């Protein structure tokens, strides 16, 4: 049976598979387009099964904000090698998945969402066959707030999204600057309340052990340890960190310099590796 170039091209456009893979799939399906798509998907399933134990530590971490700046998502679309991660067609796939993700509220919802007649999960399997590497969603984060901004670090290895308390004048720049802060400084939490009690207890014990080693009296340990915990919060919570563009003020103070009532209300950060 003769397979035309236009039929091969149509299958390529639909699946992203290589020319010979598309031609062979169409020949195997005797020209049936839907069956050819299914054949390519089965190939992807076989490749995915073979590469299931591979490490997918490379990829693209991307963020997107909705039209009215009230919701944002980060998605990490992971693969095995940096070579694939930087490919234009891979980035196009990652951005297409990101578009779908903007309307989802969970990773499970994203994987089950429609992607051109198949689910996102099925698309990932199909592309595993096309690319020859394990392709998976490495992470999904979403926030909704009065005003939301985002930042993607050069190289698509880190992305952050930040929520502010109001859509005031200057909110867009402030949200981007705070998102850059979160990308660079990798805070544990938004503020003191967001730090798990077990983490605080561990830090207190570490501080006390250090003080004992320095010969400090036991009666003084609690008060000195409290000071060290205060420093821990300053270094590890977003709003208390020194603002990277002006270390004379904290992030919270910077945001209030934009508007006296403005606060940072949320953030999420995803990174490769």
CATH number, domain containing residue 163: 3.30.479.20
The edge-to-edge listing of strands for the beta sheet with 136-144 is: 58-65, 71-79, 136-144
Same domain, 31 and 163: no
Q: Is residue 251 part of a domain?
A: no
Stated pTM of the model? 0.79
Total domains in the chain come to: 3
Structural domain of 166: 58-186+263-271
Q: Is residue 256 part of a domain?
A: no
Same domain, 81 and 113: yes
Same domain, 116 and 177: yes
Q: pLDDT per position in the chain (273 positions), as tens?
A: 688 888 888 887 777 777 788 888 888 888 888 888 887 777 766 666 667 667 778 999 999 999 999 999 999 999 999 999 999 999 999 999 999 999 999 999 999 999 988 899 999 988 888 888 889 999 999 999 999 999 999 899 999 999 999 999 999 999 999 999 999 999 999 999 998 888 888 888 888 888 788 888 777 777 777 878 888 899 999 999 999 999 999 999 999 999 999 999 999 999 997
Kindly report the CATH number assigned to the domain that includes residue 10: 1.10.8.10
Same domain, 43 and 125: no
Q: Is residue 41 part of a domain?
A: yes
Same domain, 109 and 214: no
Q: Is residue 257 part of a domain?
A: no
In this prediction, residue 262 carries a pLDDT of 98
Same domain, 267 and 138: yes
> Do 156 and 60 contact (CB within 8 A), yes or no?
yes
Same domain, 176 and 76: yes
In this prediction, residue 199 carries a pLDDT of 84
C-alpha span between 148 and 81 (Å, rounded): 32
Judged on CB neighbours under 10 Å (0-12, 13-18, 19+), 171 is buried
Same domain, 80 and 151: yes
Same domain, 140 and 172: yes
Same domain, 167 and 216: no
Kindly report the CATH number assigned to the domain that includes residue 239: 1.10.286
| Neighbour count for residue 50 (Cβ, 10 Å) | 12
| CA angle, 258 then 264 then 267, to 5° | 135
C-alpha span between 82 and 35 (Å, rounded): 33
Same domain, 39 and 169: no
Q: Is residue 252 part of a domain?
A: no
Same domain, 174 and 213: no
């Amino acid at each position: 049976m003769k397979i035309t170039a236009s039929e091969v091209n149509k299958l390529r456009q639909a699946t992203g598979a290589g020319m010979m893979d598309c031609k062979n799939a169409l020949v195997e399906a005797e020209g049936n387009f839907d069956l050819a798509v299914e054949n390519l998907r089965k190939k992807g399933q076989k490749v995915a099964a073979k590469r299931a134990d591979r490490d997918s530590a490379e990829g693209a971490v991307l963020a997107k904000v909705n039209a009215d700046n009230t919701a944002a998502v980060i998605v990490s679309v992971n693969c095995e090698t940096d070579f694939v991660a930087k490919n234009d067609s891979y980035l196009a796939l990652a951005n297409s998945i990101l578009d779908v993700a903007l309307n989802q509220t969970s990773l499970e919802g994203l994987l089950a969402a429609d992607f051109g007649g198949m689910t996102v999960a099925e698309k990932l399997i199909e592309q595993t066959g096309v690319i020859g590497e394990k392709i998976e969603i490495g992470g999904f984060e979403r926030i909704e707030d009065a005003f939301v901004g985002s930042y993607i670090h050069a190289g698509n290895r880190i992305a952050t999204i930040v929520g502010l308390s109001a859509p005031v004048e200057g909110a867009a720049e402030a949200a981007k600057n705070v998102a850059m802060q979160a990308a660079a400084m990798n805070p544990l939490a938004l503020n003191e309340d967001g730090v798990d009690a077990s983490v605080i207890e561990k830090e207190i014990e570490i501080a006390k052990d250090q003080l004992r080693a320095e010969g400090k009296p036991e009666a003084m340990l609690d008060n000195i340890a409290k000071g060290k915990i205060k420093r821990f919060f300053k270094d590890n919570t977003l709003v208390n960190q020194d603002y990277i563009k002006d270390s004379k003020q904290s992030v919270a103070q910077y945001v209030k310099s934009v508007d006296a009532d403005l606060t940072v209300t949320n953030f999420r950060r995803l990174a490769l590796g």
